[in-house]
Structure 1
């Protein structure tokens, strides 16, 4: 039933009234069902006494076991149907959200359940509202660690403090029912993927798409990529501890020679780390879906040193007329270019660009600048 009033306030009152009466009707239906169940229980007790009096003890035991088994099967079937109906009602709002089948690419023959597809369509950057208990202290500690030694640290600290103060005082983020069921679908998806180790989920190399690969295909392509390319060499030992020792000796020497202060010495010295990790992102836009290798050095022996050196060298980037920051910068520059008749524009792609840059020439460029 839908009643339209002239004023929004009146419409709100009508909606609240309708909702209250719906709740009352549901309560009456629940009480009626309870009365029906009680009547059925009384009829069951009466019939049980009559059957028990009319049969022998052995026949009664066999009949009772058969009836209890049938009743349990009927109960379980009815319960499963009702649970499924309830889940459909609860997830109705989630299913009605905007989804696009092109947001995921299932390259396997596996038929994914609906809740898995809905979860993967959300993408790796999806987030929901925070819990009521937010770890403010840990956030402040992480910010302090990140800005340590930066000249603009005081300004950044003030902005972060203002932002967090405004958030605590003026913002509320209650966890709505929709968020609760999204969390439940995410948990169910994790359980499903744990139970199906033959599936590998990652993101595509280009485009905001989630890719489902066969785990065997992923391992085979990664192994082939690492062993066939000259960029990678198999090691027969873990050089992490040796690299860590050499880096710490360099840091100590820099401090002794006065190149860095005590704060940078503390930042650059590393005592616990792990080796860099390699993974591959499938190139869906190319035949046979080759993998693009990505090496993550986060948390490795050279990570802090690389950050320190990159901060120094970053000031030299963009000093030539051929430098473009990103594709938007390139599009803006190229929009002003008129290609003469008879000329053709080429787009060239360098294979493994960074790993093929000659290191000795890089050293020379750095020294010159």
Structure 2
């Protein structure tokens, strides 16, 4: 009886399967057998996007993610091999890549030997770490290759391998060219300097004075103007005064919290370790006490220039001897504070802005005039610089500049920066017989005619009425001071 029931169920199952088979065969995902699956793959498009869609359609997103991981591992392996070859070439040619070079504030022969030995040890350690990364990547690749090659059909897997190989070869070519160029630069720099352990920075100091600099003085000046000397004690008074000045515009409760935090930090703070040797500190004092020389940054480039004080003053005098400048007998700062305040109060600027623009009485200073040496030009001329920080017109000039900037940008001759200038040049069409030339304009800004500039401002109807009056006030009261003298333009 039991046997006959089982036979009846089996017959029923076969009957249902034969009845449902036509419906199953109409499904998009239906695969009859391995031969049918091969036919399906052969009919599929095999471009990059299609392969992605096919893998997701046939095997799911998880398998597609695994194939992308396999591709990234192969790319990582190729790049690591290129890096290893570069590092071994540097080691064999006794070249030190930039990332292995060490520096120290004291420059002695013994210090240099220690730094060279440590830099070579860093290079060797990087070679070992790169080899370890390659072995780990190869192990992951082997495991993932076994997993995917057994799961994905051979025809589709061969296509994946082909695309992955093409991409890795492309990455290999790019990385190899980049590293080869780096190696050539290291070789050239090695021949120029005669050493590969540290870059020679003596070229950053240009001594055009009659004073002979010692090796220690050159070492100190090589550190540059941005080098911060560690103080012997924490400047508590200076920090507190600067914090209090900044808290004047903050809510009282927030200001009190900031004061408590600053006080807690100052109580726990300790002076840092000195970062200059005793010889370097003495050399710095000698340079500071020498009144016959001036030490200043160059106009361009990260360089330090040492000049005779007499030469510097003579070149400044030559600039100020231009007829556009006029010597005045007294300091006009107090007068400008009062007149600027009166002009701002009489204008139609809103009250909040007026409060910000009005200069504080008896706290302003006259704009300082100085020059930066142009070491890239014959005769080392000076570029005139006017520091108007904390001058009576400083805040007002900033306000006017921001108001006039949109008008300036509409001009046909407006150039924002060097990148914008390059874009303009790229859009120009030039004939074969055209010549492109550049001109050096001496004293460009002092040569701008003031009345013509004011006329252009007056003719612009988009500007508020007060802009004209305040602009005239600023342009007509340009004063600067240098070496105890006051000059009006």
**TM over 0.5: same fold?**
yes
Superimposed CA distance per residue, residues 314-360 of structure 1 (whole angstroms, 9 cap, x where no aligned partner)? 33332234322222332343245443200000112222111111112
Residue 270 of structure 1 is matched in structure 2 by 360
Superimposed CA distance per residue, residues 199-246 of structure 1 (whole angstroms, 9 cap, x where no aligned partner)? 11112222222111011111122122212x122111122222212111
User: Matched residues in 1 for 2:110 and 2:271: separation?
Assistant: 18
Residue 308 of structure 2 is matched in structure 1 by 214
**5+ long unaligned stretches in structure 1:** 1-85
Tell me, yes or no, if structure 1 residue 200 matches structure 2 residue 291: no
Superimposed CA distance per residue, residues 113-158 of structure 1 (whole angstroms, 9 cap, x where no aligned partner)? 223212222222345799997988777667677xx7xxxx9xxx9x
2:295 partner SS = strand
**Bigger radius of gyration among the two:** 2
Residue 306 of structure 1 is matched in structure 2 by 397
User: Matched residues in 2 for 1:251 and 1:183: separation?
Assistant: 53
Tell me, yes or no, if structure 1 residue 241 matches structure 2 residue 342: no
2:276 partner SS = helix
Distance of aligned partners of 1:248 and 1:343 in 2 relative to their CA distance in 1, 3 Å threshold: same
Alignment of 1:224-303 (within 5 A): 224-227=318-321, 229-254=322-347, 258-262=348-352, 264-271=354-361, 272-303=363-394
User: Matched residues in 1 for 2:325 and 2:419: separation?
Assistant: 33
Instruction: Give the paired residue count.
Output: 259
Superimposed CA distance per residue, residues 288-324 of structure 1 (whole angstroms, 9 cap, x where no aligned partner)? 2121211111122211221222222233332234322
User: Matched residues in 1 for 2:292 and 2:231: separation?
Assistant: 33
Are the aligned partners of 2:216 and 2:283 in contact in 1 as well (CA < 8 Å)?
Answer: yes
User: Matched residues in 2 for 1:105 and 1:118: separation?
Assistant: 13
Residue 121 of structure 1 is matched in structure 2 by 222
1:182 partner SS = coil
Alignment of 1:41-56 (within 5 A): none
**5+ long unaligned stretches in structure 2:** 1-105, 117-196, 463-489
User: Matched residues in 1 for 2:407 and 2:271: separation?
Assistant: 47
Are the aligned partners of 1:91 and 1:181 in contact in 2 as well (CA < 8 Å)?
Answer: no
User: Matched residues in 2 for 1:89 and 1:286: separation?
Assistant: 36
Are the aligned partners of 1:283 and 1:291 in contact in 2 as well (CA < 8 Å)?
Answer: yes
TM-score (norm. length: structure 1)? 0.58
TM-score (norm. length: structure 2)? 0.45
Alignment of 1:123-142 (within 5 A): 123-127=224-228
Residue 206 of structure 2 is matched in structure 1 by 105
Are the aligned partners of 1:201 and 1:210 in contact in 2 as well (CA < 8 Å)?
Answer: yes
User: Matched residues in 2 for 1:195 and 1:113: separation?
Assistant: 15
1:329 partner SS = helix
User: Matched residues in 1 for 2:448 and 2:295: separation?
Assistant: 32
1:193 partner SS = helix
User: Matched residues in 2 for 1:185 and 1:317: separation?
Assistant: 53
